[in-house]
Each structure stands twice: as C-alpha cells, then as structure tokens.
A and B are shown apart, each in its own frame.
Chain A
C-alpha cells in the first residue's frame, strides 16, 4: 500500500503541486510511516491532587465510576426548562452531549448524556490549541513524580496520535456519571422537537416515502372481483335470521334462503402501504491521516445526530450504509467500525463518491428509496482540482435526495481554503443544485450547538 501511495504521490508531483499541497501530502505519508511496529514505554497515568477522594481511596468500592440511571429529572423536563431559558433571554445551558454507540450488534443504540458547565471566572493556563497535536495539553503541563531517574531521562511515552477508539471515540462516555439511556429514535425526536430541526417537508413529493402494492385484501359488498363465499354465506344467514326464516334448532333448507344483493361479499383490488425501508443513507467519511483527532470526532458526532434525526423522520425506516475512504474507499458493515476505524493513508475523495455510485447502481437503490449521502472530510484532497471527484458528485446528484458535505477543518491550512471546499464552490454545483447539495464548513473548536446548526444547513 505504501509503495502504491508513493507512486501516486510521485505521479501527482510530476503533474505539479504547490508547495502547500506537497507539504500536506507528505505529512500524511509521514504519518503512515509511523503506523505499525512501534514499541512504547507505557505512558504514566497522571492524576491531579484534587482528583483523589477518600471514598475511592479508602473504601474498596469506587462509587464515582457508577453509571447513574437515577437522574431525578427526565431529559425532556431538563430540555423543556432549557427552552424556557431561551424564552427568558438567557442562552441554553444543557448540552445533549456525548453520543456513544456502545454495542456492535444493537445498531441504533445511542446514549444521551445531558451535560452542562457552571461558568465562573477561573484561571486558565496559557494555551494555544494546535490541532491534532495533543489536546492543547502540551508542554508546560508539569507534573510531580517520584522514584528512580536522572534529569533528562525519559520515563514514559504517549503516541501523538492515539489509536482511535480508545480516545475521543466511544471510550469517553464510559464511567461518566449521569447517563440517560435512549435510542437514536428518541434522540431524533429531541433534535426535532427541542432543537427545532425541521421536519422533512417534501415527504413523498419527489419520491413517495411509502410505496404502494396492490392486493386483493379489502372486502366490498355488492360488487368486486372475487366472491368471498364464506363471508357471503355468513351474511345470508344473518339476513335470514333477521327475517325469521331460520329458527334455532330447526333444519335449514338452503333453497329457501333469501339472498339480498348486498349480501354478496367480494374481494376487491386495493392499495396497500408497504413499509419497506424508505430511505437509504450513505455516511461517507474520510479517514486519512490528516483526519486524526478533532475532525474525526466532529464529523462522526454530526453523523450520529443526522442519523438519529433521519431515524425519527422516517419512523425507523432507514437503511444506513457506511463508507470509509482514504485513497481508496471501502464499505464497512456497522457504525461501530465506521466510528472507530483508525486513520490511514492519503486522500482521494473521488474514490468514495464512485463507490457510492456503484453501490446505488448495482443494487438499483434509487428506484424505491430516497437516497441521502453525507460526507465528512477535512477538506484535503490529493486530487486538488476535483477532476475526478466532481463528475462523480454530479452523477450522485442525479439520484440523491440530498448530498451534505461537512468539512471539518483540521487547522493546518487557511480557513475556507481547503481543496474540497474550493473545487466544489468553483464548480457552481452549490447554486445550480441548491436543493440537492449542501456544504457546511466547521472550525476545529466547534461545539455541539454549532453541529446541530450545521445539520439544519445540511438538511433543510
């Protein structure tokens, strides 16, 4: 794979790269080099003075690690209160933070943790947050230590790019305090109701949400396609009982029964709603080297939110497909893998788009489904002019109900100057296909409120 990337890099280089692009590509290649066999002196566990507690130290049990399902107030109550705050002219305080997909199997499991902060005037250390390189927690974070060791000696190491999954991903929710278990459907409802994400307006307009099949299931009296003999006989007996022509315990002479026209019951051809999956959502994510850390977290969080919202809108009738890409794209089978996959090599957006197109074509998904594609990237693309990506994107727009592209800037480049953003804006597709294509650019320090706002951009 490495050699392949190297050749790709060289061929790109021959075609001419700006120093800027060259640097970015080389950076990703460097990161790739680092993966693999690497031994670390284990990183020491660091704790702060005030994190030590009697309860945990002295008593054997350590209650703070418990998951509390005992919250006094329900999430709805808290959010209702928060809405009232907004009406009173104060900003909202509850964040529906930390979405976690805990299980490999239970597919739409999301844990909602209502969190908040108490804002006070507090001292901060001087910090300059440079993306990707540790969470702003760099040098100057001096700690105490004890034991062997001379000045200058290394006593522990921590990889700059943690293996994904452990950090920043699913791990964080564990051991947290008050969690409210909920599923994606509920989260979708909360997003729609409390955060006023729009309801889908054009349900059934472009392509009906519900498809109909015709079946001989309805019954009709008087006329129809097929006579339902059993029901007809039952009606006839009823009629004759009412007329007094049939006595209890007496023998019945079938020839003497009167038959009214409306006693004949027919089966009739009728429309039936068919709740097959109505929407197919493609979540596409760049997992190249440059995506490590914050961009991945943002993109994935936004995708969880979108996913939940769609689940609610389509009343659980959503099929999801997950696609990861670097220079090549692959489909992964569940959200867990999608969420946690480790960063890999370079970036070519076109590969992902063409894979989506191929899946749609092969399975003729566009005939019966609304198709949504959400793509999250940091905006880097080795194919810097979009020569390959744009045709694929245009093709995608012919069948998709909505394509939403989220660019989570990784902070290396200049804001608003990423390749993907540039070539998409330049292509004019954003204006031309305004109903179909949306673009949302988010900064590395984006919070959840902004993410939800971004979703509104992408889907409304």
Chain B
C-alpha cells in the first residue's frame, strides 16, 4: 500500500474544491492509497480497515452462497472508509479521468459519512486509530491467554449483530427529560395494571380533563392526590421508575452479559470484558453502513455524475465516462442495483421538490392531468430541489428513504416492477414473470430485501438462566445457526441459556408436489419454540 502520486493528489484536491462549491461538506484531509490485488485480498475480510484486529475466520473463506445474502449480511466493503481522515483505495493503473470519477464518488461517500445522522456516533473519533489500539490489545491478550481469546471473539461476534445501535443513536438526539408523575401514571402505571381496560383508561383521561376544567390552576395536583389516595403504592413505584430511567438506556445482549454475567465478572475472567467491548464497539461502528446502502451509493452516484460532467479539466473523456457510468448506474432487468435506484430517487426527489410537488397540496390531487400540470402556487423554484435532497441525505436511512419516497409516479417513470418465479410444469422451468407494477408492492419487495437483524430482548429468570426473547416479526430465525450462537452465549453467561422464537410449519403438505403452487400465505402456522442450551447440549421444544 502506498500513497497516490503527487500528480494524482493534485487533481483530487481540485475535485474537492469543485465539490465544496456545489455545497458538499467534508473535512479537508483525506488519504488515498494505491492497492494491489494482494493488498485487497488482505483488506477485504477486514472490511477495508487496515488496522482491524486479527481473527482466524479472516483467513478462511466464509461460506456465502449465491442469492443468500439475507443469510450472510456482510458489510459492504467500499472503496472509501469512514475514518478521520477518510481513506480511499485506487488501482495503480487507473487513468486520470477514471481517478477523477472515482474520487468524485468517494467525495460523495465522505460527505455522506460526515453528515448523515445515522453515522453520528462515528464523528468524534478516528476508527483506524481505535482499531489499531484494539488490535494491539487483542494481540497482547493472545500472547497471555492463547486460543481462549479467539473463543471469546467468536462468541461475542455471534451476537454482535444485535448490538444496541439505535439506543446509542437515541442517546445523541433525545435530551433526558425527567419523567413526570402524570406521564408515569398514564404511560406506565395505568397500562401495567392488572385489570386494565380501554374504557377504564379513557375514563381516567376524562376524569383528569374534568379536574383541569374545574380547577384551572391546580387541576393536575388535585388529580394526582386522588390517584395517591386510591393507589398507595404509586409514589414508591414512581420513584423507582425515575431511578431506573436515570441509570440509562436499555442494555443490549453484550452489555447485559458484561454487566450481569457472574462468569465474566470473576476476577480471573475480567480480561474477557475487554475483548467483548472491542467486538461490541467495532460492530457499532459498522452498523450504519449496511443500513444506508441505497442512500449512500445513490448519493455518491448522483454526485460523481454531476461533478464529473461539470469538470472542465477532463473534457474529452465523456465517452469513456459514459461506459463506466452506465455499468454502475443502469437498472438491471431483474434485481436491485442500489447505485441506480438511489441515484434515480435523488434525481426524482430533486425535480419533485423543485416543482413544489413534495407538498400536501400536491399529494391531495387525484386527477392525473392536474398532477402533470401542477405548479406550486407559492415561490418554490430554483435551488429548493437541491436543498431538499441535502435534507434527505442528512436525515434518512434506507428503510425510511424507500418507505417515504417511492410512489406510483416514480415506479411508472422508471418502469419498475416486481418479478417473481413460478413453476411451469409443462416446460419444467422456473419462469420469471412481472408480478406487479404497483408502487405498494415494489416498496414492500425492497423493504423485505433490506438488512433487518432480529430484535432480541434479554432477561434472567429465577433459575439464573439467561432468557432471550426473539420478538416476532413474521420471520423465523435461521435454524442451523441457533445452536452455535447459544453455545457461545452459554459459555459467556456461565449457566443455562434459553431462546424463545417462532417457527413456521406447513399446515398440510402433499409430497411430492412441486413446492408452492401459490404464495405461502394461509398455508403456514406459527409455533412458538424454546431452545435451551445447557451443558453444551441443545434441546428444542414447542411451547404452544
């Protein structure tokens, strides 16, 4: 790995200036390296972070079957990494014009990393430096504890996709408001009462409203006094809730283990906590990337196209550019290209906002003709489209982006559709056919293919067993991996571990019918299962 030549660097500095003029914002310094294929092979298992800790799995091919990415969601390794300064990688034989194009794409990513709020937690430090410290720590521990360090890494990594990323983000944005008695009464206390009914709840609200009407000055106080009279335990429960809230956010599984595991907190095992924390913080750093793939690539593609075509220094290479750009940003016949989709959405939003169409007035119009000729009444116009997409790049992630902005107009504009496979028995082929051209279905299809790790809560029962509860979202867990994961958890917890989850079962099945003449809906029932790992033996039972 070596730095790019001074010549290339000079061109890139020119790119930065042009990008700034267009309103992109990013730090001044950046590092560009030439990588060989050999470098690349060593970097890719480390997500392109050269200083990431060593782990034996990086030396082995991790099984990835084609079309199984939902099973093995990998962080996309990019040509640029989100460090301070950002580091980007180039082939050594790129011509200048290609380097300019790539660098504009890179600038798009850097701008995104440094402004999108989903990356908020990575803004205050340089990950490459932190990773190096972690790597040295693990190397030192390895020299003392040997292979056990790798076991701890393995077991922690087994649950590192369940880190409390959103809890961490929340801690940046929401200020801590003190829990008021009234809020506690209505939001928590009433709803946890045994004999709660909706009617009763509404009656309580009505009673409260009556108090505020009758006693405008001290309605709330009087109301709470009646509550106190009725429920003697209210005050003590309230202060307990306040104390708990002050303690901080929910803990994710790794934090929970670090805090509560009797095994990890034994004196001789304290070093494991350091390893787990390394894994956890590394995972948190990588979380936003995979959740902003479409946005990030769309944004970078939007900018490399705009900036490149306006760069006077490389005119004459438009055709070369067009070849590569078409490869990157064309919509495939079947499949989802995040570059193409994201870029089109940004262009679409820009023009919609420019014409004042991102507004309630416009959304209300049902008449197609009127929609086509819509012009905003008030003074929207030049520049507001740009502003709007900058707002989107700052505040959105993929799922919000897709959910909010894909509408029928967009789907029609780019002739998008949902395809599916069906069995043609005559010809014995799988047919790909256009299933739907409705925006609703298209949106749903993308939503289904977005990265979405399971939500798992953690508690301890009276038996000192660790209880994991997989919150049901209409998807089962991948069964083959449960055993390995629970095995590691049992080790870290030091006692029995149970996992509750749902599994699908076919209602009826007639072998040897080829599978599924129609969709699965209505043909499956969900069963709640309990997996228990005890003394490294797993058992599986249906509970209802």
User: A residues engaging B (CB < 8 A)?
Assistant: 23, 27, 31, 34, 38, 40, 43-55, 57-61, 63-64, 66, 68, 70-73, 78, 81, 84, 88-91, 94-95, 97, 113-126, 128, 130, 133-134, 137-161, 176-179, 411-412
Contacts and interface: CB of A to CB of B under 8 A. Distances in A.
Contact of A121 (B450, B477, B518): B477
B449 A138 contact: no
Given A47-B337, A59-B79, A143-B445, A123 B454 contact: yes
B512 interface: yes
Interface in B23-63: 37-38, 40-42, 44, 56-57, 59-63
Chain A contact residues: helix, strand, loop or mixed:
loop
B387 to A, nearest CB: 27
Given A51-B69, A134-B515, A139-B515, 13 more contacts: A47-B337, A49-B336, A52-B339, A53-B78, A72-B59, A119-B488, A120-B161, A121-B456, A121-B477, A123-B476, A138-B515, A142-B420, A157-B431
A124 B159 contact: no
Nearest to B452: A123
Given A119-B158, A177-B61, A49 B294 contact: yes
A123 B475 contact: yes
Given A48-B67, A120-B158, A144 B62 contact: no
A114 B337 contact: no
Interface in B125-166: 147, 151, 154, 157-162
Contacts of A120: 157-161, 481, 485
Sort A-B residue pairs by CB-CB distance and give the 4 closest, nearest first: A119-B484, A44-B334, A54-B79, A119-B481
B515 A133 contact: yes
Contacts of A63: 37, 40-41, 44
A70 B39 CA distance: 10
Contacts of B252: none
Interface string B93-128: 010001001100100000000000000000000000
Contacts of B105: 54, 58
Which among B60, B290, B333, B422 has the highest number of chain A CB atoms within 10 Å? B60
B475 A116 contact: no
A73 B328 contact: no
A57 B485 contact: no
Contacts of B297: 52, 54
A155 to B, nearest CB: 5
A38 B102 CA distance: 44
Contacts of B294: 49
Contacts of B435: 142, 151
B172 to A, nearest CB: 26
Interface stretch (B215-223, B263-271, B409-417): B409-417
Contacts of A130: 511-512, 514-515
B434 A118 contact: no
A191 to B, nearest CB: 18
A124 B427 CA distance: 30
B76 A121 contact: no
Contact of B419 (A31, A48, A50, A155): A155
Nearest to A126: B504
Nearest to B324: A58
A230 to B, nearest CB: 60
B418 interface: yes
Contacts of B72: 117
Contact of B67 (A46, A118, A142): A46
A66 B487 CA distance: 35
A343 to B, nearest CB: 12
Nearest to A61: B91
Contact of A57 (B67, B80, B328, B448): B328
Contacts of A46: 67, 334-335
A49 B399 CA distance: 13
Which among B44, B67, B147, B419 has the highest number of chain A CB atoms within 10 Å? B419
A71 B483 CA distance: 28
Contacts of A126: 475-476, 504, 520, 524
Contact of A140 (B433, B454, B478, B519): B519
Nearest to A64: B44
Contacts of B14: none
Contacts of B431: 154, 156-157
B331 interface: yes
Contacts of B339: 52, 57
Contact of A157 (B60, B70, B80, B432): B432
Interface string B487-527: 11000000000010000101001011011101110001000
A144 B290 contact: no
A144 B336 contact: yes
Contacts of B74: 50
B73 interface: yes
Nearest to B297: A52
Nearest to A123: B475
Interface residues of B, number: 121
Contacts, number: 340
Nearest to A54: B79
Nearest to A177: B61
B293 A49 contact: yes
B476 A88 contact: no
B481 A144 contact: no
Contacts of A178: 59-61
A161 to B, nearest CB: 7
A23 B478 CA distance: 34
A118 B488 CA distance: 12
Contacts of A138: 421, 423, 430, 515-516
Contacts of A141: 67, 420-421
Contact of A152 (B41, B62, B101, B433): B433
Given A38-B427, A145-B416, A157-B431, A412 B511 contact: yes
A156 B424 CA distance: 12
Contact of B420 (A23, A50, A139): A139
B432 A121 contact: no
Nearest to B536: A89
Given A54-B105, A158-B432, A66 B37 contact: yes
B338 interface: yes
A106 B157 CA distance: 41
Contact of A147 (B77, B331, B506): B331
A137 B470 contact: no
A159 B482 contact: no
A137 B162 contact: no
A155 B102 contact: no
Contacts of B333: 44, 145-147, 155-156
Interface in B422-445: 422-424, 427-437, 442, 445
A121 B481 contact: yes
Nearest to B414: A146
16 contacts: A44-B334, A48-B69, A54-B77, A89-B536, A117-B481, A118-B62, A121-B159, A122-B161, A124-B478, A125-B70, A133-B423, A142-B435, A155-B432, A156-B333, A157-B432, A160-B428
Nearest to B38: A70
B139 to A, nearest CB: 14
Which among A27, A44, A55, A70 has the highest number of chain B CB atoms within 10 Å? A55
B41 A70 contact: yes
Contacts of A61: 37, 91
A66 B41 contact: yes
Contacts of B364: none
Contact of B60 (A115, A137, A150, A155): A115
A73 B481 contact: no
A51 B73 CA distance: 9
A147 B415 contact: yes
A364 to B, nearest CB: 45
A44 B433 CA distance: 11
Nearest to B491: A90
Contacts of B423: 133, 138-139, 160
B332 interface: yes
Nearest to B147: A84
Contacts of B478: 121-124
